[in-house]
Amino acid sequence: MMEKLLSRFNELNLEPTGEFEVSGFQAVDGAIAAYISRMFDNARVNTKSIENASYVRFIGGPAANRVVLGKFDDIVDFLKSLRRSDARKAKTERPKNPQVLPVINVSRSFDTAFMGLEHKRDTPAPLLLEVVSDGDDKPYATIGTTNASLTYSITILAAEKETLSLLINTIGVSFRFAGHRSLSAPITLALVETALDATFTDSRDIAFTDISAPIGEERIFAAQAVLTVSADVKMAMAVNPRKIRHEVLTAVKEN
């Protein structure tokens, strides 16, 4: 018996170096805040009155002024922080929002639960690793994706009851009738641009709770809703590429 070469091929083997980089959630926070702000872009009031004047001013103002990111102990502390910020801006530039209210606060707790991939929505091929190459087409990293369950609070503050109601209803119906519930948050990881998918898992059943300040304190009407978001977590792993040569042989009878 003798061996005969049938084929010869090269395989690229990516050996991990041990170095890695992981994504955070700042881009997801910003994407969610921007999404909520955009809910008001096309809102209109055809019959204006004293009761809806603040809402009209809110939807007609700059989109960047509607939603504030950050976590605060309570709504009074949040409002004081906004006013201090406006006071500082007034010394050098036009205040961001001289009247402060109404305003929406979006915050994320540090409760984080890593989820099974079977619970992930709207993400194709979650088990595939993305290979990252340099300008010479030489691989230097692979990117894997898992996902985590995050908890966000949406807090709405207003000086009038009707304004608060209009803000609640705008957000509520926007979530209720949304055609899709996924957002894309661009990030840079391993020196390349990629994106994190963020999906609202319970937004169509959104429920607001009254958290208005006590009458004895500064009178503020407020409501809060808690939403769960499934967000991508990406890990880039540095690799050294190494080519492995393979030969396929077969046994043949000698003549």
Residue identified by tokens 């990629």 is: 194
pLDDT of residue 125: 47
Higher pLDDT, 25 or 243: 25
Q: Is the pLDDT of residue 247 over 70?
A: no
pLDDT of residue 246: 61
Return phi, psi of residue 220, to 5°.
-135, 130
pLDDT tens across 157-182, in order? 999 999 999 999 999 999 999 877 89
Q: Which two tokens stand for residue 191?
A: 């020196």
Average model confidence (pLDDT) across the chain: 84
Rounded CA separation 130/139 (Å): 10
pLDDT tens across 30-63, in order? 999 999 999 999 999 999 999 999 999 999 999 9
pTM reported for the whole predicted model: 0.81
Q: Could you tell me how far CA 255 lies from the centroid of its own chain?
A: 70
Rounded CA separation 121/182 (Å): 8
pLDDT of residue 100: 77
- Domain locations along the chain: 2-252
Q: Is the pLDDT of residue 21 over 90?
A: yes
Q: How far is CA 1 from CA 4, 7, 253, in A?
A: 10, 19, 5
pLDDT of residue 9: 64
Q: Are strands 192-200 and 221-252 parallel, antiparallel or unpaired?
A: antiparallel
User: Which has the minimum average pLDDT: 46-55, 69-78, 79-88?
Assistant: 79-88
Q: Could you tell me how far CA 9 lies from the centroid of its own chain?
A: 43
pLDDT of residue 124: 46
pLDDT tens across 92-146, in order? 444 444 457 899 999 999 999 997 655 554 444 445 688 998 888 889 999 999 9
- The percent helix, strand, coil of the chain (3-state, each to 5) is 25, 45, 30
Q: Which CATH architecture best describes the domain 2-252?
A: 2-Layer Sandwich (3.30)
For a pLDDT cut of 70, what percent of the chain falls above it?
77
- What's the mean pLDDT in 66-81? 78
pLDDT of residue 118: 57
The gap between the terminal CA atoms of the chain, to the nearest Å, is 9
- Residue 187 pLDDT grade (very low, low, confident, very high; cuts 50, 70, 90): very high
pLDDT of residue 93: 47
pLDDT of residue 5: 57
Rounded CA separation 211/209 (Å): 6
